[in-house]
């Protein structure tokens, strides 16, 4: 009985630790990532990325470093259409200083007539803690041949 209690305590402590890491990652990375992306704020957006970031948009077969990713993001600031980004998660793995997360994003843009259009993709992100703060180290995404849609988005878990 004592062994069972110890095992349950260890399992509960592990779950709590994992949830605390996800909360920390959400607060330091995903909440500012989404807010700055939606506001087209390149400086704030790039602040959640490591200076060693590798950006790999698989649909375009590109690899971008921090400077190249910053320039690409700055070009997006010039667009005037309203847009929003939403994230949901399929898998979240983390330890005290590194994490790997897989999820589905939904990007919605409104044209000049106010008509919305949404696109979806799957993202894979590696994160690491740098000076006590979580940063995106590798960011890759793909529409997977336009096979990702609302069904996959809704099947993934919301950020908690």
> pLDDT digit string (tens) for 32-48?
999 999 999 999 999 99
Mean pLDDT, residues 9-37: 77
What is the CATH architecture of 2-158?
Roll (3.10)
Assign 3 a pLDDT band (cuts: 50, 70, 90). low
- Write down the pLDDT at residue 4: 41
As a whole number of Å, the end-to-end CA separation of the chain is 34
DSSP string for 102-129: EEEEEEEEE-TTS-EEEEEEEEEEEEEE
pTM attached to this predicted model: 0.85
Q: Domain segments of the chain: what residues?
A: 2-158
Tokens 């375009």 — which residue? 60
Gap between the Cα atoms of 31 and 130, Å rounded: 18
Average pLDDT, the chain: 90
Assign 13 a pLDDT band (cuts: 50, 70, 90). very low
């Amino acid at each position: 009985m004592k062994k069972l209690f110890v095992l349950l305590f260890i399992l509960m402590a592990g779950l709590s630790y994992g949830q605390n890491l996800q909360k920390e990652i959400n607060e330091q990375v995903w909440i500012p990532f989404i807010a700055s992306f939606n506001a087209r704020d390149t400086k704030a957006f790039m602040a959640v990325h490591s200076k060693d970031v590798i950006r790999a948009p698989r649909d375009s077969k590109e690899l971008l470093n921090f400077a190249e990713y910053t320039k690409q993001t700055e070009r997006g600031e010039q667009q005037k259409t309203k847009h929003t980004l939403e994230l949901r998660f399929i898998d979240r793995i983390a330890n005290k200083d590194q994490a790997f997360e897989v999820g589905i994003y939904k990007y919605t843009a409104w044209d000049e007539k106010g008509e919305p259009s949404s696109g979806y993709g799957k993202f894979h992100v590696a994160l690491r803690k740098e000076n006590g703060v979580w940063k995106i180290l590798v960011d890759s995404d793909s529409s997977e041949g336009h096979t990702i849609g609302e069904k996959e988005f809704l099947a993934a878990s919301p950020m908690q």
